[in-house]
Amino acid sequence: MSENMNNSTLRRDPRREWILRNRLHPQHSEIATEDSSSDVLHEWMGPQGIKRKAPHNIGFIGPNGIRRIDRSGTQQAGSASRKEIAQQPSRRSHQIQHPQQYILVVADMTGGRLSAQDKDILGLAHQLAAKKAETAVMLVVFGEHKEAAFAEAGVDRLLHIEGEAFDGFSPDLRLAWLTAIERELHPDYWLFPDSGLGGGDLGRRLAVELDVHAATGLWQVNLKEQPISCVCRAAASTQDLTRELPRVILALSECAEPISDSLHAVQEFNLVRQPLDQLPRIQDLGAVAVDPASVSLAEAEFILSGGNGIRDWDGFHQTAEILGATEGASRVAVDDGYMPRDRQVGATGTWVTARVYMAVGISGAIQHLQGIQSCDKVICINTDAGCDMVKRADLALIGDSTEILAAVRRKVSELKQEKRHVA
C-alpha cells in the first residue's frame, strides 16, 4: 500500500485510522506496531514534486501513551535517513600515492600497541605533514607488535623492523637503523614520544647523532608562525621555552589531537640499504624480579590498601605478600600508627597510578578518592554499602574484610599449589 501512496490516489481506511487514534482500542497496539514498521510515511514526494510531510505520523506511541519522537533515527521505521547513515563511510580515506617527503614517527609501542601518546604524536605528524603537499607519515616499529589499528591512527607508511634483538634494550642497533633511514629518506621531521626509556632515550641518541639541537618536552606547536615555533617544558617543568621547531622532536602526551576522522593506507615500506650488524656495547641481561614492597607507591601496578575498617593487620600484610601487591593505606590507618607515613594514599599522601587498586575497609574520603583518580580498576571491601568508595569501585564486596581476606589468601594459595603440581 505504501508503495502506491507516492504516485497514485491516496486510499484511506477510516476504521484503521480510528483505531490508531484510539489507544484504548483492543487492536490499537497491533495496528500501531504495523504502522511503525512500514505502513505510514511521514515524508514523501508529492505529485507536483513537492515534499509532503505528515507530522502526525512522526514518532511512535510510548509505553505511557504519549507520542515520542526519536530524532536519532534509530527507532523510526521506514526512514531513509537510517540507511544513509549506515552507508556513509565513517572515515574519509587519506591516500598518498607518491610521497615527496616523509615525516618519521618512532613509536614506543608499550605492550605491543600504540600508546595514547604515540597516537597524539601521529596526530602532530599529520599537522606538520599538512603544511607541505605529498608528505607521508611513516611509522617505525621495532620488534613484534599486536596493533591492528594503524590505519585509524594515521600511518601512511609502515616500516616494521623485525628481529629478536628488539625484544630487549638495544639502543645501538636501533640507532643504526634510524641513521640508515635518515640516509635513505632524509625525512623532514623525526618525532619521538618523550617518555622515559623508549622514545626519550632513542630520540636523544638520534639528535646527538644528527647534530640537531632537539626540542624536548614539546607540548605545543605554533604552525601559523613562520618559521614554525614550538613550546617546550624546560628547567624541570618550571619554565616554558619558545623556540624554532627543529628536525628532531621529543613530544609530551596531548601535544596534538590524535587522528580521528581519516583512514590511512598502511603501506609496508622497506629500506634498500639495511645497516650492518655490530657488536653491541650494551648487553641486556633481562628483567629482574622486583619485590612489590620495594616499589614506590606512585608507580606500583597493583596496590592493596587498608583503612580504618581493618581489624586484622597481620592478615592484611599476609594477603599483600601472597597477592604480590604493594601496600597502601588511608590516612586514618597511618595516623593510628598501623602503617608508615610513606604508604599513605590520597591527596595528602601519594597520588597513585595503579592499574588495580584494592581498598579494604576504606570508606572513601574525597582526598583519598582524588589520590586514586587515575586507577583503572578499583576493588572495594567494606561493611557499609552506602559509602563513597563503593560508588567509585568497579567491584564492591559488602562484608567482613577479615573473613574475605582470609578466603582470598586460602584460594590464592590453593591456586598456586595447583599450578606448582601441574608444573
Partner 1 sequence: MSLNQATRVAVLLSIGQHPVTARARRADQDARALELALQLNHADVIPLHVGQLNEHNEAALRSYLGMGISQIKLIGNSDILLGLEQGVRESQANIVLCGSRAETGEGSGLVPYLLAKKLGWPIVSGLVSIEKLDQGSATLLQALPRGQRRKLKVSLPAVLAVDPAAAVARQSAFGPAQRGAITPQKLSSIEAVSGAEVKHNSALHSFLWQFQPAKKRPKRLKIIKATSARDRFKAAAAKADASGGKVLQGVSADDAANEIIKLLLEESVLNLDGHL
Kindly tell me which residue out of 213, 222, 277, 336 binds partner 1, with binding defined by CB under 8 A.
213
| Binding to partner 1 in span 365-394, by CB under 8 A | 376-379, 381, 385, 390-394
> Is residue 314 part of the contact set for partner 1 (CB under 8 A)?
no
Kindly tell me which residue out of 302, 317, 347, 351 binds partner 1, with binding defined by CB under 8 A.
302
Kindly tell me which residue out of 27, 95, 296, 370 binds partner 1, with binding defined by CB under 8 A.
296
> Is residue 225 part of the contact set for partner 1 (CB under 8 A)?
no
Count interface residues toward partner 1 (CB under 8 A): 97
> Is residue 62 part of the contact set for partner 1 (CB under 8 A)?
no
For residues 148 and 155, what is the distance between their CA atoms, to the nearest angstrom?
A: 11
Q: Which residues contact 53 (CB under 8 A, 6 or more apart)?
A: 42, 43
Which among 5, 12, 67, 64 is positioned nearest to 36, based on CA atoms? 67
With vertex at residue 342, the alpha carbon angle to CA 337 and CA 343, rounded to the nearest 5 degrees, is 70
Residue 129 or 381 having the CB closest to partner 1: 381
For residues 138 and 416, what is the distance between their CA atoms, to the nearest angstrom?
A: 46
Kindly tell me which residue out of 17, 244, 336, 342 binds partner 1, with binding defined by CB under 8 A.
244
Contact 102, 65 (CB under 8 A): no
Binding mask 91-110 for partner 1 (x = CB under 8 A): -------------------x
For residues 188 and 104, what is the distance between their CA atoms, to the nearest angstrom?
A: 8
Where does this chain touch partner 1 (CB under 8 A) — which range of 94-102, 128-136, 267-275, 295-303?
Answer: 295-303
Residue 165 or 271 having the CB closest to partner 1: 165
Q: How far is the CB of 163 from partner 1 (least distance, A)?
A: 18
Residue 274 or 417 having the CB closest to partner 1: 417
| Binding to partner 1 in span 2-61, by CB under 8 A | none
C-alpha cell recorded at residue 161: 623492523
| DSSP SS3 for 208 | helix
Q: How far is the CB of 70 from partner 1 (least distance, A)?
A: 8
Q: Which residues contact 192 (CB under 8 A, 6 or more apart)?
A: 105, 106, 121, 199, 200, 202, 203, 206, 248, 249, 250, 251
| Binding to partner 1 in span 109-168, by CB under 8 A | 110, 168
Q: Please report which residue ranges of 162-265 form alpha helices under DSSP H.
A: 171-185, 199-210
Where does this chain touch partner 1 (CB under 8 A) — which range of 12-20, 121-129, 201-209, 267-275?
Answer: 201-209
Would you call the peptide bond into 14 cis, given omega within 30 degrees of 0 as the criterion?
no
Contact 181, 159 (CB under 8 A): yes
> Is residue 403 part of the contact set for partner 1 (CB under 8 A)?
yes
With vertex at residue 198, the alpha carbon angle to CA 192 and CA 200, rounded to the nearest 5 degrees, is 55
Q: How far is the CB of 395 from partner 1 (least distance, A)?
A: 5
Residue 19 or 345 having the CB closest to partner 1: 345
Question: Residue 360: how many CB atoms within 10 A of its CB?
Answer: 28
> Is residue 416 part of the contact set for partner 1 (CB under 8 A)?
yes
Category of 259 on φ-ψ map: left (φ > 0), alpha (ψ -120 to 50) or beta = beta
Cα→Cα distances 273→176, 179, 186, 246, 293, Å: 12, 11, 14, 26, 48
Residue 34 or 209 having the CB closest to partner 1: 209
Residue 19 or 249 having the CB closest to partner 1: 249
Q: Check the CA dihedral 25-31-36-41 and report its sign.
A: negative
Q: How far is the CB of 197 from partner 1 (least distance, A)?
A: 5
Residue 48 or 283 having the CB closest to partner 1: 283
Q: What is the end-to-end Cα distance of the chain in Å, rounded?
A: 71
Kindly tell me which residue out of 79, 322, 347, 367 binds partner 1, with binding defined by CB under 8 A.
322
Contact 140, 178 (CB under 8 A): yes
| Binding to partner 1 in span 329-348, by CB under 8 A | none
Residue 129 or 380 having the CB closest to partner 1: 380
> Is residue 245 part of the contact set for partner 1 (CB under 8 A)?
no
